[in-house]
Structure 1
Amino acid sequence: MGFSQIIYSWTAIFPVIVLLYYFFRKKYTEQPVSSTLFWSEIMQETRVSPYLKHLQKNALLYLQLLALLLLMLALMNPFITKSKIAGAQVVFIVDTSATMLAGKEQSTFEQHKEEMLALVHELNGRPVTLITTGHAPTAVLQQEANTNAVEQAIQALQVTYETAQMHKSLDVAQAFIGDVPTSVYIFTDALDKMQLPIEKDTVQWIVKGAAKDLKNIAITRFAATTDGQHAMALVQLRNDTKEQQQAVLTLYDADNKELVREEIALPPKEVIAKTFKNLAVTSTMTAKIAVQDDYVVDNTQTALLQTASAALIVDQNLHQLIQKGFQAIQPNVKMAPALQLADNKDAIIVTNQTSLLGQTKKPIVLFGRDDTEKFEAAGNVKTTNDALFAFSDLKDVYVSALYEGFESYKTIASVGEKPFIQLSSEGDIIVLADIEDTDWPLHPSFPLFLWSVEQQLVESSSSLGIFAPNEERVVALAQGDWSVYSQEDEFLSTVTNGILTAPMKPGAYIARSADEAKRFIVQLQAQERIIEEGTSYTIGALPDDGGEEMSKSSIVPWIIVLALLLLIVEWEVQRRRGFTN
């Protein structure tokens, strides 16, 4: 603390004048009276509270002296010194992961936005670079010196629910730092000092973390399966606090109807699992816990109900390119002799044995036929609008020989006028050619076709699976216009070139075309279900030529307000005593 106008210290004479005035004011002479009836009572009251009587008698003196002292201090302009932004430029790295929504009265993310807005007023023309975290860090601002533009960009920031992956954002920041003295502010919840690249002397790292007393109870795992008649759910809960917590766990179906509710005691620092059986079958199931904690995002999780995944078995007599192709897509693919395939009726079989059609519980995939002779083929391959060809362009594939097609099956690809690939009503996929009679394996469309086959048969055909927030993924969808909608039927985005970008908020969503709809789930990643203890620290100091400054925050306004309050109190004391006195 200091004084910028110490010359005004001579005004201390005014309180002294007031004090002298009270010393030399008129004194009253003692006057005898004829009655002393009430003196004993008055003296007793005075002895009981002598200090209060003294204060009442001299209240005006003390109030006037204090007001004069405050005004004298205001003339001397006292101030408090504090560190100001150092360096020739400033870089803000903002963590936008889901854990930034943790907080008590206010989330960590909102607190950091307020801190950034306060720092903007201390920039003094320094350029600002604003970087947000995520799988692909984004430079929202680059060397921006306009204060209004910086404030607007900060106000527009929002949580993206993606895992921070801070190392990527630090790499992006390094590109803007160069050799210029820079203050790098990192707004996150917790960051290990070892992650910072502190080899440069021209960078000061200021890390702003979350509060240290946040408590969290989370749903760490939720899965639901069905056998077609009943559903079963597994819920895993974790209590990160040091005390036992009480929670109410509720499961809901796709229509938000309650399936089961149970009160659960969660021991401190432990993980417990609950299993629920014989539940009603639904397309999606949501688990929620009602508990008092500081992070509510991980208190809800949604799951798609999946049937048990079918095994994939490939006939050993088929060409090795087919075997290797499926193994590359799904490592759990099994090879079996042709005579043993009939014993695996619960599996999806890839073979050329037509006798297995209709004999298994799952669809089969035929490459060629063993019950008829092939014939020469000529012409270009033509495909229909089917999901199997969403990423497989077969127009340049050469086919020299074909087998006779099935009359009742749907043809989705043809060579000339002859069927090449067909679908049965039970979901079987038939390729009416031997791989050695085509050059298909030489084209990128071959492994993509096998992947589409695996996705359509092994995975649930009515769902697209589980996505991370904002994840971009190639999905097997029939050609056409597909759009993404929320559960409330709100349009969110479109699917472009087979690439679906998941929404950022966790929950259940629908990808829909004119003729078909597929559900998918957006879930928080495991890292976003753990609240780390907040850390704030500063590493490094910029040299003198780095532009480090100290700001002076004046406290004169507070002194003036206090002086005015004292004057009001003094007026009230004088009013009670009577102005004529």
Structure 2
Amino acid sequence: MGFSQIMFSWTAIIPVIVLLYYFFRKKYTDQTVSSTLFWSEIMQETRVSPYLKHLQKNALLYLQLLALLLLVLALMNPYMKKSTIAGAQTIFIVDTSATMLAGKEQSTFDAHKKEMQSLVDQLEGRPVTLITTGNTPQAVLQQETNVKSIEKAIQDLQVTYETAQMNKALDVAQAFVGDTQTSIYVFTDSLDKKQLPMEKNSVKWLVYGSEKGLANVAITRFAATTDGQSTMALVQLQNDTDQKHELTIALENSQGEVVIEEQVSLAENEATTKTFKDLPLMDTITANINVEDDYVVDNKQSVVLQTATSNIVVDQNMHQLIQKGFQSISDHVKIVPSLQLADNENATIVTNQTSLLQNMQRPLVLNGRDDVEKKEINGEVKTTSDALFAFSELNDIYVSALYPAFDGYKTIATVGDKPFIQRSPQGDIIVLADIADTDWPLYPSFPLFLWSATQQLSESVGSLGIFVPNEQRSVALAQGDWSVYSQDDEFLSTITNGLITAPMQPGIYTARSSSEEKRLIVQLQAPERVIEEGTSYTLGELQPNGKEEVSKASFVPWLILIILCLLVAEWEVQRRRGFTN
């Protein structure tokens, strides 16, 4: 606290003058009069309370002195130092991933929205840029100064369930900085300090994380398959807490009816896998866990099943390890000569013939290429958050040579900076390496990858497969008008030219035309099933022109209000005593 007009402190003499006036005013001597003796009993209460009598007698003095003292204080303009946003502009980076819904009394996302609303009061005319995270970061506001527009944009923010991909959002924020002194607020659950670009001295980073001690028990993986007579399901659970948890796991059909239910006990930081066999035939199946934790979004997961078993046809020229790998995961595998592959349009084909990519009606698995030469490569294998790798992690495998990538295809795994595995717009899965140039078959991820690939390609017959929230993908659909509906038959979006945008929330959805319908699943990506420890910190300092920016909250308006109330009280005291006295 301080005073900005200390020169007016001399006015303190005014209350002293008033006090001296009361000292030298005319005084009266108390004289007992016989006719008032009978009033002594009535005044007994006043004599019992001498302080009250004193206050009644000198109320006007005290009120005048207090009013004058407050007036002197107001002239000196007292103020309180108020926190303010430093810099010439402000950038808000808001994490809208699914894990922001975790929280105890309120979600991390809601807590951050309230914090942003409170920061708006400290802007003092500074422009605001608001950026949301996701696969494609969005600049919701750009250099906005209107407080109402800023508050509305913050209020309208919502979780998109996409993985944050914070590096992309940070790059977008850097484009708005330039040489301007900037405060960048990052509202997320957890962010490593090493991810922040610290090249510029004109930036102050303020990171707001989630509250600590959040508990989470999740369904990390869920798969189901059928042989046409019964269904088998596999559920993997993970307890990320330091406490033992008792939970109930239930499998439901498309009508929401519980097919099977089981009690599970999970020790601290334990992962377990439950297998359910001989379940009734279902077209969709949903796994639910009922557990007391702070993040409920990952307590549910769904898959689509096919009642018909898809045949797998493997090119005779493919490596023996690939042939044996597919035979180990399915009983419906045929090894056929290369020239006969085109005669098996209703099967999932595994080959290295590039020409079949354009000639086959159904998506296929292309392992290697027969139209170009491969080149030696050296680097670490990295994968994206694609559903194809839900059960198979490729981080430890070695690849010595790769074929050139296809233009326009989506890369879902790389070796160094070169594409390793791609997905075509039609759904084909392309592995740009010969199996002989890798040690992949030595790892358990190899048969799991083959199983995931065949499951996704067989799903494409009766369903559109598995999507991540808001994912855009080209799908093979018959001619006609197609739309996407929720389980409650609510219209969500239209599929235009075979390009579908997946719904935002995880669940089961239906793509429907006038004569046909197909199911699709929206699932959380793997990073959205893990709650990280919250982190909040500040990095960097801004001191424009070598001076620290200070915002002062003045007390003068409140002091004036109190003085006015005191004047009203003085008037009332004087009125009761009589103005002539």
TM over 0.5: yes
Does residue 104 in structure 1 map to residue 104 in structure 2?
yes
1:346 equivalent in structure 2: 331
Change (3 A) 1:60 1:190: farther
Q: Deviations for 1:541-560, whole angstroms, at most 9, x for unmatched residues?
A: 22423996221123456677
Following the alignment from structure 1 to structure 2, what is the Cα–Cα distance between the partners of residues 60 and 231? 91
Aligned-partner SS, 1:206: strand
Does residue 2 in structure 1 map to residue 2 in structure 2?
yes
Following the alignment from structure 1 to structure 2, what is the Cα–Cα distance between the partners of residues 269 and 345? 34
Q: Deviations for 1:7-62, whole angstroms, at most 9, x for unmatched residues?
A: 55567678879999999999999x9xxxxxxxxxxxxx99xxxx9xx99x999999
Alignment of 1:225-264 (within 5 A): 225-264=225-264
1:116 equivalent in structure 2: 116
1:294 equivalent in structure 2: 294
CA contact (8 A) 2:323 2:335 kept: no
CA contact (8 A) 1:306 1:460 kept: no
1:468 equivalent in structure 2: 468
Alignment of 1:328-343 (within 5 A): 332=322
Following the alignment from structure 2 to structure 1, what is the Cα–Cα distance between the partners of residues 456 and 467? 18
2:163 equivalent in structure 1: 163
Change (3 A) 1:221 1:147: same
Aligned-partner SS, 2:157: coil
Following the alignment from structure 1 to structure 2, what is the Cα–Cα distance between the partners of residues 299 and 227? 27
Q: Deviations for 1:529-551, whole angstroms, at most 9, x for unmatched residues?
A: 22222222221122423996221
Q: Deviations for 1:151-193, whole angstroms, at most 9, x for unmatched residues?
A: 3333332211111111111112222222232222212121111
Aligned-partner SS, 1:180: coil
Following the alignment from structure 1 to structure 2, what is the Cα–Cα distance between the partners of residues 66 and 101? 53
2:183 equivalent in structure 1: 183
Alignment of 1:262-277 (within 5 A): 262-277=262-277
Give the CA deviation at 1:255.
Answer: 0.6
Alignment of 1:337-486 (within 5 A): 346-349=331-334, 351=336, 388=362, 451=428, 458-459=458-459, 461-486=461-486
Following the alignment from structure 1 to structure 2, what is the Cα–Cα distance between the partners of residues 345 and 192? 43
2:194 equivalent in structure 1: 194
Give the CA deviation at 1:488.
Answer: 1.0
Alignment of 1:297-308 (within 5 A): 297-305=297-305
Change (3 A) 1:181 1:366: closer
Q: Deviations for 1:59-100, whole angstroms, at most 9, x for unmatched residues?
A: 999999988877765554432223422333322211111111
2:491 equivalent in structure 1: 491
Q: Deviations for 1:272-318, whole angstroms, at most 9, x for unmatched residues?
A: 443334433322222333333332222222223367986734353xx
More displaced stretch, 62-71 vs 192-201: 62-71
Q: Deviations for 1:89-121, whole angstroms, at most 9, x for unmatched residues?
A: 322211111111223333222232333333334
CA contact (8 A) 1:387 1:476 kept: no
Alignment of 1:32-71 (within 5 A): none
RMSD: 5.3
Following the alignment from structure 2 to structure 1, what is the Cα–Cα distance between the partners of residues 530 and 20? 68
Aligned-partner SS, 1:100: helix
Following the alignment from structure 1 to structure 2, what is the Cα–Cα distance between the partners of residues 566 and 279? 81
Change (3 A) 1:210 1:315: closer
Following the alignment from structure 1 to structure 2, what is the Cα–Cα distance between the partners of residues 293 and 60? 63
Q: Deviations for 1:450-477, whole angstroms, at most 9, x for unmatched residues?
A: 9499789744622222211111223232
Following the alignment from structure 2 to structure 1, what is the Cα–Cα distance between the partners of residues 563 and 213? 39
**2:534 is aligned with what amino acid?**
G
Give the CA deviation at 1:528.
Answer: 1.1
**1:193 is aligned with what amino acid?**
K
CA contact (8 A) 1:350 1:366 kept: no
Following the alignment from structure 2 to structure 1, what is the Cα–Cα distance between the partners of residues 262 and 63? 64
* Number of residue equivalences: 489
Following the alignment from structure 1 to structure 2, what is the Cα–Cα distance between the partners of residues 132 and 529? 20
1:401 equivalent in structure 2: none
* TM-score scaled by length of structure 2: 0.65
Q: Which segments of 5 or more consecutive residues in structure 2 lack a partner in the other structure?
A: 33-47, 351-357, 365-406, 410-422, 430-452
Following the alignment from structure 1 to structure 2, what is the Cα–Cα distance between the partners of residues 473 and 238? 30
Change (3 A) 1:128 1:547: farther
Following the alignment from structure 2 to structure 1, what is the Cα–Cα distance between the partners of residues 59 and 235? 69
1:144 equivalent in structure 2: 144
Following the alignment from structure 2 to structure 1, what is the Cα–Cα distance between the partners of residues 246 and 67? 55
Q: Which structure is larger by alpha-carbon Rg, 1 or 2?
A: 1
CA contact (8 A) 1:349 1:365 kept: no
2:535 equivalent in structure 1: 535
1:434 equivalent in structure 2: none
2:85 equivalent in structure 1: 85
Give the CA deviation at 1:480.
Answer: 2.9
